[in-house]
Structure 1
Amino acid sequence: MDDNIHTPTISSGPTSGGVPRDFSKLSMEDLMQEKTRIEEELSALSGVLSSQGTNMTNSLTTFDGFPRDDIDVAQVRTTRVRIIRLRNDHKDVMKYLEKGLHDHFANLQRTNGAGAGAADTSSTQPSATVGDSLSTAGMLETPFAKVNSVAPGSPADQAGLKAGDTIRSFGEVNWLNHERLSKVAEAVQQNEGRALTVKVARKEDSLTTTELDLQLIPRRNWGGRGLLGCHLVPL
């Protein structure tokens, strides 16, 4: 059969095969971009497997050991290898991102200590430290999800969430550790009936964005499906 009925393969990114990339040499900004790129490609590759009705563990042979004829076995194998490499790359990127943030906070603490011991510089030193702290907070609170819809009367609605809001943090979950929103789902399940602080950015118009800290209580029996009553999509 000449026509390929399956989804075409996804072109490989810069981490395909060959020598592994040295992420330790990347800046924090480059690491953030790499994290986004890897997650987007992983999502696309997952779609390739789904289009063929398979995943990372399904057998590619029939019960008697022959290659399955209902899927493109070669494509699935190539896709699986690529996913494994990307997952390893993602772990490395996250490791260096977290190390960079830890180092930054350690430097801030040392700066604070030095500033406290020097009376002559106490009036000027904290201002730089505050700026660094705000910069780091900005990195931690990079939006990672968008509210796609909110059901009327739901816990999300009562908390004040609106469609179009972008999520900066959801309890302890942020852009560094949300893992394609899976950690948000865990936080919701583990905190049923308890308030979670959700930091959101709401674009009021083309020039104005409002930052909000909302208290959201996941709960059942509100008259709809789920514990939140809203639909989040990753950015």
Structure 2
Amino acid sequence: MLPIKTKMVVDMELQEAKDAVLQLIKDKEKIESTLQALKELLDSNILQNQIDMDESLVDSEGYPRQDIDVYQVRHARHKIICLRNDHKALMKKIEEGLHKVHALAEGSKAQDSVTPNVSDSLETETLEPFLRVNLVSPGSPAEIAGIQVEDLILEFGSIHYRNFKSLTDIGKLVENSRYKVINLKIKRGSNVIVLSLTPRPWVGKGLLGCNVIPLEIVER
């Protein structure tokens, strides 16, 4: 049996890895926002001339064009090139971070199966799954939290099978919990694990990046 202290260290490392990935994603979203603003600058109509990344900034005689702000466009182009490189580097770090999160999550799950908490086990026996995960988008808050397709949800924050009425309940809880941690109790195979999910805007749709469907009684 592994000591509780070892489990705590693994959980701390897992949370730190999640926080690091979340920060990287925030940095990525900031870069994407800046890139969009710069693109709109180049795409904007400057004296009826559309400017992109490749259009010449000099006239036929080799002089700077008078119909555009040459300095502004050059600065925007240079900034876009730099930000694209930064974005590429961040995407690589995010990918590496997600791999680390998944590895630590699997390690934590393995230790949970070795050192089960008796009170948690007794409590779980009184719970029944009421939702099934049928979609998890790459890079989403759900994936970062460790949620996987076919996970069965026993508890979603304060919602469980006894008080669950419809997916509207889940939607309201998620919307009211932006940037706040929601604890999920999930049944995965024969294991029951607890995950921390933080709803927030990301590059995809919604605040979670996953889809759940209600379980019929015969499926439980």
TM-score range, shorter chain: 0.3 to 0.5
Greater relative CO, 1 or 2 (CA 8 Å, sep 6+): 2
Q: Which has the larger radius of gyration?
A: 2
* Structure (1 or 2) with the greater helix fraction: 2
Q: What is the TM-score with the length of structure 2 in the denominator?
A: 0.45
